[in-house]
């Protein structure tokens, strides 16, 4: 199982929110590059980079941060947050993203999103399936859609999607543990998908459980920043 730390960006700084609420913003580091280099120094190879300003503005904002991390580390970066147009995607890839994550766009403008899968290939495009009570949430989690999580994922699997980041919003940033039951059901109903678990990771012990369920990767945010899980522990997990 891949370990994928998250860096969320507001105003070019590394922050975390609770349940996606911008009012709960906590700044952890003024320099996302410094944080990324710490991850790399502990054997981490992947990074989930989220442009929270972009998510709010509905277009890419913090691409300079992406460019800096991509050019000064060897991390494999998946980038998301506010990617809505072909131009946004071009900027993200030109700035060094290896993959992009599309969430709201997959709900609001499925034809554009399907076009991206066809143009760039399923290895480059990740479906962001952020759920609240199993309904897909969009626009930086400020809106709930009428889409049910499992049929939504299944529908895009039929369009060729291979990678899905599933976040249970009720768990995100709360350090209360991930949605094991939700992931178990998702993997049993859409078995061929590469599921990346996100939201709520709070202790190191949860990682082997997610691996056992069959998650292909897991995104860890606040647990790292609040020193609930050390980079040393992650390094050992990766080496195993």
Of the chain, the percentage scoring pLDDT greater than 70 comes to: 98
Q: Are 211 and 1 in contact (CB under 8 A)?
A: yes
Residue 211: is its pLDDT beyond 90? yes
> Residue 139's pLDDT is what?
66
In the chain the beta strands, taken as DSSP E runs, fall at: 2-10, 13-18, 21-29, 46-51, 76-80, 99-102, 125-132, 135-138, 143-148, 163-168, 194-198, 217-220
Instruction: Grade residue 141 by pLDDT with cuts at 50, 70 and 90.
Output: low
Instruction: Grade residue 142 by pLDDT with cuts at 50, 70 and 90.
Output: low
Residue 36: is its pLDDT beyond 90? yes
Q: Are 140 and 56 in contact (CB under 8 A)?
A: yes
Catalytic residues: 8, 130
**Which residue segments constitute the domains of the chain, with CATH numbers given?**
2-239 (3.20.20.70)
> Residue 106's pLDDT is what?
95
Residue 49: is its pLDDT beyond 80? yes
Q: Are 67 and 95 in contact (CB under 8 A)?
A: yes
d(CA 73, CA 65): 12
Average pLDDT over residues 74-82: 97
Q: Are 210 and 3 in contact (CB under 8 A)?
A: no
Least confident of 95-109, 132-146, 151-165, 181-195: 132-146
Average pLDDT over residues 216-222: 96
Residue 160: is its pLDDT beyond 80? yes
Q: For residue 140, give Cα distances in angstroms to 22, 57, 75.
A: 9, 10, 25
d(CA 66, CA 79): 8
Instruction: Grade residue 128 by pLDDT with cuts at 50, 70 and 90.
Output: very high
Instruction: Grade residue 171 by pLDDT with cuts at 50, 70 and 90.
Output: confident
Q: Are 52 and 140 in contact (CB under 8 A)?
A: yes
136 beta partners = 131
d(CA 219, CA 7): 10
144 beta partners = 137
Least confident of 5-9, 54-58, 152-156: 54-58
Least confident of 12-26, 130-144, 155-169: 130-144
Q: Which of 36, 108, 27, 109 is nearest to 69 (CA)?
A: 36
d(CA 160, CA 240): 31
Average pLDDT over residues 23-35: 96
> Residue 144's pLDDT is what?
72
């Amino acid at each position: 199982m891949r370990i994928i730390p998250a860096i969320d960006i507001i105003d070019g700084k590394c922050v975390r929110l609770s349940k996606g609420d911008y009012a709960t913003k906590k700044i952890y580091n003024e320099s996302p590059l410094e944080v990324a280099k710490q991850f790399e120094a502990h054997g981490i190879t992947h990074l989930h980079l989220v442009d929270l300003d972009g998510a709010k503005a509905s277009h890419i904002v913090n691409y300079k941060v992406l460019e800096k991390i991509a050019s000064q580390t060897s991390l494999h970066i998946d980038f998301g947050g506010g990617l809505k147009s072909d131009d946004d995607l071009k900027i993200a890839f030109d700035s060094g993203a290896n993959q992009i994550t599309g969430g709201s766009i997959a709900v609001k403008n499925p034809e554009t999103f399907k076009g991206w899968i066809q143009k760039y290939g399923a290895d480059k495009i990740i479906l962001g399936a952020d759920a609240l009570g199993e309904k897909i949430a969009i626009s930086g989690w400020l809106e709930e859609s009428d889409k049910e999580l499992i049929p939504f994922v299944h529908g895009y699997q039929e369009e060729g999607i291979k990678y899905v980041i599933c976040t249970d919003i009720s768990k995100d940033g709360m350090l209360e543990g991930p949605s094991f039951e939700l992931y178990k059901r998702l993997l049993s109903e859409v078995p061929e998908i590469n599921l990346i678990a996100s939201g709520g990771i709070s202790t190191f012990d949860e990682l082997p459980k997610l691996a056992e369920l069959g998650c292909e990767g897991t995104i860890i945010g606040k647990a790292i920043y609040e020193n609930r899980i050390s980079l040393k522990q992650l390094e050992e997990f990766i080496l195993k």
